[in-house]
Amino acid sequence: MQASCVAITSKGVPFTSTKNNMTTKILIVRSSSLGDLVHMLPAISDIAKHVPGAQIDWVAEEAFAEIPAWHPAVHEVIKVAHRRWRKTWWSAPTRQERAALKRKLKSTRYDIVLDMQALMKSAWIVRQAKGVKHGLDWKSARESMASLFYDVRHTVAFWQPAVTRQRMLAAAAFNYQYEGEPDFGLQKFTDGVAIQDYAVIMPSASREDKLWPEADWHAVFRELNAAGLRLKLLAGNEKETERARALVRDFPDAEILPRMSLTDVARVIAPARMMIGLDSGLTHLSAALGRPTIGIYSASTPVRTPLVGAAFTASLGDRGIPPTREMVLSKLKQALAS
């Protein structure tokens, strides 16, 4: 696949690569959320491949800062804490942290500052950094006002998979054409890992309208057990743990995993035979790790955020239309066969 649907406005000029013996300093701004950062990783691999001497720094929300650090091409992760700061924006400690972030961003002159989020909160970060500022144009940005803060603006068609959209924007900013399947740069978790006989389940979500019926989960669990797979359920908080306990009440061999760091979760998923989960960042991480993965969508559409990975994936359902039990079981059998 190659980059297309790309245009640079009259304000700004295309990026020109430096010589091989020089460093190109790049700041990527994409702070959240978990799944969105996973979708960013192939664009980072593309930049590292096509831009000689790329030194990539990445601004990410503190809760997800582990994800950029996984990629071998990322030089430094700069933490931001919008989710925490917005609760106490004008308090003295928050002002001090914001000032420290501003000093950090201004301490380096970047060749390119690339906003991959196109929100006002990401534009706020871009404004404070030194360097030529790139981002999406008015029609392409999720929040159009953000485009006013860029020196160079790019057009990237909106309704397409997030991984493709990010790869296209990076290709436009650095003036190259990408090709090939996405490389998430997660080999540190997958190289030399032996696959084990268990399935990872992500049955919980922060929103009730994302949940899937208990009886349907039980049918999936029985199918997995019949295939000789143990169940490992992820739970991020006490409410999710309680829901998981209720789900596996009749499955005594199932294991409910404690809350873990994202790195530890990745280490659990990487050797799994497969994963089935609701539309969540961890389900997208499973696909990125190259595990057969089934995603259950009921409150969002997979058109823009389908599962993407090297192994079998199935993104089932849509906003307001959860997949049926039969649909999931059919794809489960395909995944097991794969």
Domain CATH for 117: 3.40.50.2000
Mean pLDDT of 95-121: 97
Is there a single domain that holds both residue 201 and residue 85? no
Is there a single domain that holds both residue 259 and residue 203? yes
Predicted local confidence at residue 21, as pLDDT? 60
What is the tens place of the pLDDT at every residue in 201-219? Answer: 999 887 889 999 999 999 9
Is there a single domain that holds both residue 225 and residue 111? no
d(CA 83, CA 67): 17
Is there a single domain that holds both residue 170 and residue 311? no
Residue 148 pLDDT more than 80?
yes
**Residue 7 located in a structural domain:** no
Domain final position from 174, 199, 217: 174
Mean pLDDT of 277-295: 97
Predicted local confidence at residue 224, as pLDDT? 98
- Give SS3 for 319: coil
Q: Which of 11-25, 98-112, 126-140, 284-298 has the lowest mean pLDDT?
A: 11-25
Rounded (5°) CA angle 47-186-73? 35
The closest of 282, 265, 275, 319 to 297, measured between CA atoms, is 319
Is there a single domain that holds both residue 131 and residue 205? no
Is there a single domain that holds both residue 101 and residue 45? yes
Q: Which domain holds residue 141?
A: 24-174
**Residue 181 located in a structural domain:** no
What residue has token string 């068609």?
Answer: 157
Predicted local confidence at residue 13, as pLDDT? 58
Is there a single domain that holds both residue 212 and residue 161? no
Is there a single domain that holds both residue 195 and residue 142? no
What is the tens place of the pLDDT at every residue in 4-37? Answer: 333 333 345 567 665 556 899 999 999 999 999 9
Mean pLDDT, all residues of the chain: 93
Is there a single domain that holds both residue 170 and residue 191? no
**Residue 236 located in a structural domain:** yes
User: What pTM was computed for the model?
Assistant: 0.93
> Higher model confidence: residue 20 or residue 144?
144
Is there a single domain that holds both residue 52 and residue 155? yes
Is there a single domain that holds both residue 323 and residue 258? yes
Mean pLDDT of 45-60: 97
**Residue 159 located in a structural domain:** yes
Predicted local confidence at residue 168, as pLDDT? 97
> Percentage of the chain with pLDDT > 90?
90
Is there a single domain that holds both residue 192 and residue 325? yes
Q: How many domains does the chain divide into? A: 2
Predicted local confidence at residue 138, as pLDDT? 96
Domain final position from 128, 144, 174: 174
